[in-house]
Amino acid sequence: MSISMAMPWNDGEEKMQRLLHVPLQDNPTSTFLTHQASFLLQRAPLLAFGTLDSQFRPWSTLWGGEPGFSEPLGGDFLDTRTLVDGKNDPVVQALVGDAEIGETSHPKDSGKLVAGLTIDLMTRKRVKLAGRMITGTVKDVGIEVQSESEMTQQQLQLVTKIDQSMGNCPKYLNQYEISPAIVNSRLVSQGPELTDEGRALISKSDMFFLSTSVEDDMDVNHRGGPPGFVRIISSNQIVYPEYSGNRLYQSLGNLQLNPKIGMTFPDYETGDVLYLTGTTEILISTDASTLLPGSNLAVKITINEAHFVAGGLPFRGVRKTPSPYNPLVRKLTSEGNIKASLKSQKTARLVRKELITPSIARFTFSIPEGIKYEAGQWVAMDFKQWLDRGYQHMRNEDPTSLNDDFVRTFTISSAPKLNGAEEKEFEITIRKVGPVTQYLVQQNEQAGFEVLILGVGGEFKMKQEKNSVTPFIAGGVGITPLLGQLSTLEISPDRFKLFWTVRASDVGMVTDTFKRQPELGKCTEVFFTGNITADDSTAIGKVIFSGATTVNRRLTKSDLDGIEAQRWVRRHTPMAR
């Protein structure tokens, strides 16, 4: 009977925990091949694998295609038989590259350092493995392609001795349904910089696999997120955010002691794959947020060598359900991440709340110090002190909140009263759609609620051409950039036209707007969607009485025929949710 034994921490893992002010924890890694690992190895269709090349650089790869290609042999030994790209897979080359086809390779001394991650993306289960290579062979095998044809492929048979195993949580695993495929590889590029093919693959990837190592240990793991979560800094540098995890920091701990990393980006649709090896810099707190705003922890990689291989994977995958834990993509400061410019820290007090519809409300905030803003700009507000519940490993009832910094931008819907001077009040008009807006709607203006203002920005200015009609198309609360500019525009049927699509249940937003801006009704065509109740019909009657035209359907392209619209560009993207 096996007895579970925990592995001691290495110095890098303890250093990471201290740097991030995390209480030291027991290392849950077992010193043998656990039953959990054995079970998943026989059922998972994929195995990420890593080792070191002759220059002691880590590489990682991804093998498999269907369950059963790896199986325990007993005594913590593991047998893996899988189709591989024997020529262009850097891990295969590092394991058996010097051996002839069919010749068994036996590493010297105690065996070659290896690590793996058996993973089932559909069930979102994964187990990490680490140990030593015992023997490895690549041989030619015949694969039946059609009922009467056969193709020669290369198969790797690898025996490893597993010294460590540990299960990981299901966070950030995007589902793919995996099936086997023929390897038909072609080396497209190899060098110290990313080519167009490599950049394109990284830009659309929603996961990668990484290998890290120290003197007598190695680690392979997965990183996932929304497509594009890895950002390209330059032709030889990339960065990715480290999301909330189990706080063991095994990969990052290795990188503290040895900054070398191996990465694999698979393209499940085409079978293309990008292999990278490079050196890392771990960015913490301000260093992370300066490069990748919204992040408290990130890893920057300088690429030493990149291989892009077309058709090099022995499987294909069909994307299913993304992980519910994926946060939004965080762009680089250089890509225009608006959080990079948020430096002001003033406090705003809620002084008035008006419920316009069951889901839309207007809030008036007071700022004693005042802020400068122009019509159409946004204000960034920090709700962290009210909504951040501290560290939690899993939060199934609200997964994305684990990586939420609770900073939101809202378009200012009021018009500035003073030209270029500090304004003492401003309004926002928002829909209740997420944790921040729901929390805000619950606040009582008599209770003295205050929120931190991080800054004001963006640019959205409307200009009217002479002797022409200026159109504006809005959906629901998307009208807010217009509201603050109405006093500067000529609002008459021959100078302005508003096309406004609104849910019938939000008709109160329309009547409220026309009450505040009576001249706007005669210039507006409102498209009501959804079920219309008797109360809605009464309110729609008031909209018609104001002079507006109403239609009970969605806006279509034909509704805009004859309107020459100037192309308005909003230079900010609200993050309210």
Model pLDDT for residues 272-311, shown as the tens digit of each residue? 999 999 999 999 999 999 999 999 999 999 999 999 999 9
Total count of residues recorded for the chain: 577
User: Looking at this protein, which amino acid is placed at residue 482?
Assistant: L
Least trusted range by pLDDT, from 117-121, 192-196, 207-211, 464-468: 464-468
C-alpha distance from residue 481 to each of 60, 82, 248, 392, 460 (Å): 49, 57, 45, 37, 7
Please check the confidence at residue 577 and state whether its pLDDT lies above 50: no
Residue 299 and residue 259 in contact, taking contact as beta carbons nearer than 8 Å:
no
On the question of pLDDT at 576 being above 60, the answer is no
What's the pLDDT at 338? Answer: 83
561 pLDDT exceeds 60? yes
Using CB atoms within 10 A of its CB, is residue 2 exposed (0-12), middle (13-18) or buried (19+)? exposed
Q: Pick the closest to residue 453 from 368, 359, 332 (CA basis).
A: 368
| Cα 247 from Cα 20, distance rounded (Å) | 9
Q: What is the mean pLDDT of the chain?
A: 91
CA dihedral 105, 108, 111, 116 (to 10 degrees): -50
Q: Does residue 16 surpass a pLDDT of 70?
A: yes
Q: How confident is the model at residue 4, as a pLDDT?
A: 47
Q: Please state, as a whole number, how many other Cβ atoms lie within 10 Å of the Cβ of residue 438.
A: 12
**Per-residue burial over 56-83, b = 16 or more CB atoms within 10 Å of its CB, e = otherwise:** ebbbbbbbbbeeebbebeeebebbbbbb
Q: What is the dihedral of CA 391, 396, 398, 403, to 10 degrees?
A: 40
pLDDT in tens, 335-376: 988 888 787 789 999 999 999 999 999 999 999 999 999 999
Which range has the worst mean pLDDT, 221-225, 254-258, 565-569? 565-569
Summarised one tens digit per residue, pLDDT across range 173-226 is: 999 999 999 999 999 999 999 999 999 999 999 999 999 999 999 999 999 999
Per-residue model confidence (pLDDT) at position 6: 57
Report residue 380 as tokens: 């960034």
The 10s digit of each residue's pLDDT in 378-414 is: 999 999 999 988 888 888 888 888 999 999 999 999 9
pLDDT value, residue 101: 81
Q: Determine whether 235 is exposed, middle or buried from the number of CB atoms within 10 Å of its CB (0-12, 13-18, 19+).
A: middle
pLDDT value at residue 3: 44
Mean pLDDT along residues 26-52: 94
Which of helix, strand or coil describes residue 71? strand
pLDDT at 99: 77
How much of the chain, in percent, has pLDDT values that exceed 70? Answer: 95
Q: In sequence order, which ranges of 313-414 are alpha helices (DSSP H)?
A: 384-387
Helices (H), 71-150: 90-96
C-alpha span between 495 and 470 (Å, rounded): 6
Q: Are 252 and 19 in contact (CB under 8 A)?
A: no
Does residue 265 sit in helix, strand or coil?
strand
Cβ-contact 433, 577 below 8 angstroms? yes
Tell me the C-alpha distance between 421 and 531, whole Å: 45
Closest CA to 118 of 191, 42, 54: 42
Strand order from edge to edge, sheet including 524-529:
470-475, 496-503, 524-529, 549-551
Q: Is the dihedral of CA 42, 43, 46, 48 positive or negative?
A: negative
Q: How far is CA 441 from CA 185, 374, 576, in A?
A: 56, 25, 13
Q: What is the largest CA-CA distance in the chain?
A: 90
Is residue 563 very low, low, confident or very high in pLDDT (cuts 50, 70, 90)? confident
d(CA 573, CA 403): 19
Above 50 in pLDDT, residue 574? no
For residue 111, what pLDDT is reported? 83
Six-digit token string for 565: 């619209």
- CA-CA distance, 51 to 72, in Å (whole number)? 20
Checking DSSP bridges between strand 496-503 and strand 470-475, what pairing results, if any?
parallel
3-class SS of residue 520: helix
